[in-house]
């Protein structure tokens, strides 16, 4: 049973007549816990009895754990996670650059929503970055609840309000609005040449993520989809984004000494929906078939010598091609990125009327709501999409006055 004991204050090594009370209570493992600093014997005893009552009810939180600092627990939480390496790097940068300077030494039990919201309003970073940081803190604090360091997560179910007006009302940036017409995709591909230009064509007309395109291997290229339809079987060529090794990524890891270590390699896909089979329109199937016939390397969109593209080198090449950064080249689409080409593909799908369930599937997105469970892509939907993409390609060739993508 909990009890209280008197604790005399000490001055110059000698006990004084002034004292406070310390609560003593029996912990679940049978040892005695203590909590000092109570002004009276009654308050100390009451606090200790409350701890023992919470133990009997199965809801006790060890006060010593709740005094653990946010920075200390954040390291434990990060070590226990197993996301993709890029996610680890992003989380680490958010913590190091934004969160920990304010919250590293604050005890978990001392964090309140009031102070979190006030801190968020004071940040000068982009609105979306502020929300990401607060969401990350909420994930970590929920981990603290699961680890029985906290009884509740003070951020759970709360919504940021009162952010600076210019951030809350920020419109889409020029980059977010950017996409390329089919003619511009073909112009970029021709400018890059048959070897490197296939990457641009494939992202623009298949909607691959950059890391998915760079991680695509021969054995996953131009497979066949077979789906029952009427009294027969619908077939079409596909490229497969492998769930276990479908992304070629480049990021920094953090060593035990805190130093950044550059990593480049193949990892699993971003999420479950990213692992998928993408239907390939006829023109692109022919171009990929010709590519594989002459291509000696395993990775389909590697450099000429078969080596992986460094992300910076590839970005610089796209800038030269799209911006026209040479005396001989006129601009095609200044500022366009490979990510914008993926946006372009989804724009094409909307233009040609691809059904939502199929558009989400082909882009590697989860179709939201109950319709994502009830609706399924049918062969006529797939054929309509393939016909639409083929028509966009043929019309773009005609608009440019070309007979083929590559110059003969």
Query: Mean of the pLDDT values across residues 104-129?
Result: 91
Mean pLDDT for the chain?
88
As given in the structure block, the two tokens for residue 211 are 């890391």
At residue 321, the pLDDT reads: 93
Is residue 316 in some structural domain? Answer: yes
DSSP assignment letter at 231: T
Weakest-pLDDT range from 77-86, 129-138, 333-342, 372-381: 77-86
Is residue 405 in some structural domain? Answer: no
Same structural domain, 94 and 134? yes
At residue 173, the pLDDT reads: 52
| Residue, of 46 and 220, whose pLDDT is higher | 220
At residue 36, the pLDDT reads: 83
At residue 175, the pLDDT reads: 54
Rounded to 10 degrees, what is the CA torsion of 201, 207, 211, 213?
-40
Same structural domain, 350 and 311? yes
Query: Mean of the pLDDT values across residues 326-330?
Result: 82
Q: Are 4 and 36 spatial neighbours (Cβ–Cβ below 8 Å)? A: no
Q: Are 118 and 160 spatial neighbours (Cβ–Cβ below 8 Å)? A: no
Rounded to 10 degrees, what is the CA torsion of 199, 204, 206, 211?
50
Is the pLDDT reported for residue 113 higher than 90? yes
At residue 170, the pLDDT reads: 45
Is residue 262 in some structural domain? Answer: no
| pLDDT > 90 in the chain, percent | 57
Is residue 270 in some structural domain? Answer: no
Weakest-pLDDT range from 38-47, 58-67, 254-263, 290-299: 254-263
At residue 169, the pLDDT reads: 45
> Which segments of 207-309 does DSSP mark as H helices, in order?
210-214, 282-294
Query: Mean of the pLDDT values across residues 227-256?
Result: 87
Same structural domain, 340 and 205? yes
* Maximum average pLDDT range among 7-16, 24-33, 336-345: 336-345
| Residue where a domain terminates, one of 39, 60, 81 | 60
Cβ neighbour number for residue 173 with a 10 Å cutoff: 9
- What is the CATH number for 160? 1.10.150.130
Category of 157 on φ-ψ map: left (φ > 0), alpha (ψ -120 to 50) or beta: left
Is the pLDDT reported for residue 37 higher than 90? no
| Residue where a domain terminates, one of 168, 192, 219 | 168
At residue 167, the pLDDT reads: 41
Distance of CA 298 to the CA centre of its chain: 27
Same structural domain, 97 and 48? no
Angle value at C-alpha 228, between 244 and 375, nearest 5 degrees: 70
Q: Which residues of 352-383 are buried (b: 16+ CB within 10 A; e: fewer)?
A: bebbebbbbbbbbbebeeeebeebebebebbe
Query: Mean of the pLDDT values across residues 77-106?
Result: 88
Is 194 exposed, middle or buried, given 0-12, 13-18 or 19+ CB atoms closer than 10 A? Answer: middle
- What is the CATH number for 349? 1.10.443
As given in the structure block, the two tokens for residue 356 are 């939502």
Same structural domain, 190 and 158? no
At residue 171, the pLDDT reads: 45
Band (350; pLDDT cuts 50, 70, 90): very high
| pLDDT > 70 in the chain, percent | 96
Looking at the DSSP assignment, which residues form a beta bridge with residue 10? 15
Q: C-alpha distances in angstroms, 48 versus 14, 35, 61, 67, 110?
A: 28, 8, 13, 17, 20
Is 282 exposed, middle or buried, given 0-12, 13-18 or 19+ CB atoms closer than 10 A? Answer: middle
Rounded to 10 degrees, what is the CA torsion of 268, 269, 273, 275?
-80
Q: Which residues of 12-23 are buried (b: 16+ CB within 10 A; e: fewer)?
A: eeeeeeeeebbb
Is the pLDDT reported for residue 70 higher than 60? yes
Query: Mean of the pLDDT values across residues 221-227?
Result: 96
Same structural domain, 74 and 190? no
At residue 266, the pLDDT reads: 87
Residue 357: partners with Cβ closer than 8 Å, 6 or more residues away: 367, 371, 372, 375, 376, 377, 381
Query: Helix and strand tally (H, E) in the chain?
Result: 17, 8
pLDDT in tens, 134-185: 999 999 999 999 988 888 899 998 888 877 665 444 444 555 578 999 999 9
Is residue 305 in some structural domain? Answer: yes
Looking at the 3D structure of the chain, how many domains does it have? 3
Is residue 80 in some structural domain? Answer: yes
Query: Mean of the pLDDT values across residues 226-238?
Result: 93
| Full domain range(s) for residue 106 | 70-168
Is the pLDDT reported for residue 92 higher than 70? yes
Of 37, 33, 64, residue with least CA distance to 49: 33
Same structural domain, 311 and 192? yes
């Amino acid at each position: 049973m909990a009890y209280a004991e008197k604790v005399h204050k000490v001055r110059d090594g000698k006990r004084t007549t002034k004292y406070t009370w310390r609560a003593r209570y029996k912990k679940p493992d049978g040892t005695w816990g203590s909590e000092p600093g109570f002004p009276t014997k009654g308050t100390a005893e009451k606090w200790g009895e409350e701890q023992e009552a919470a133990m009997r009810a199965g809801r006790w939180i060890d006060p010593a754990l709740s005094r653990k600092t946010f920075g200390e627990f954040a390291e434990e939480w990060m070590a226990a996670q197993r996301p993709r390496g890029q996610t680890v790097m992003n989380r680490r940068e958010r913590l190091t650059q934004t969160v920990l300077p304010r919250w590293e030494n604050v005890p978990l039990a001392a964090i309140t929503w009031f102070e979190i919201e006030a801190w968020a309003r004071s940040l000068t970073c982009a609105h979306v970055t502020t929300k990401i940081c607060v969401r990350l803190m909420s994930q970590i604090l929920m981990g603290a609840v699961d680890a029985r360091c906290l009884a509740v997560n003070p951020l759970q179910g709360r919504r940021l309000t009162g952010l600076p007006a210019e951030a809350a009302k920020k419109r889409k940036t020029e980059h977010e609005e950017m996409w390329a017409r089919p003619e511009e995709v073909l112009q970029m591909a021709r400018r890059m040449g048959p070897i490197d230009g296939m990457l641009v064509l494939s992202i623009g007309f298949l909607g691959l993520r950059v890391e998915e395109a760079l991680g695509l291997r021969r054995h996953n290229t131009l497979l066949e989809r077979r789906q029952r339809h009427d009294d027969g079987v619908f077939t079409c060529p596909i490229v497969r984004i492998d769930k276990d090794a479908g992304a070629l990524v480049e990021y920094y890891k953090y060593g035990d000494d805190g130093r950044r270590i550059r990593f480049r390699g193949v990892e699993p896909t971003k999420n479950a929906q990213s692992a998928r089979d993408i239907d390939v329109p006829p023109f692109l199937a022919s171009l990929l078939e010709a590519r594989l016939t002459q291509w000696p390397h395993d990775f389909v969109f590697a450099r000429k010598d078969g080596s992986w593209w460094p992300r910076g080198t590839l970005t610089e090449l796209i800038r030269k091609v799209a911006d026209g950064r040479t005396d001989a080249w006129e601009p095609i689409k200044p500022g366009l990125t490979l990510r914008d080409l993926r946006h372009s593909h989804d724009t094409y799908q909307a233009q040609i009327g691809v059904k939502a369930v199929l558009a989400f599937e082909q882009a590697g997105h989860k179709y939201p709501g109950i319709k994502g469970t009830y609706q399924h892509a049918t062969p006529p939907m797939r054929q309509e999409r393939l016909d639409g993409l083929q028509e966009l390609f043929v019309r773009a060739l005609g608009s440019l006055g070309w007979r083929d993508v590559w110059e003969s």
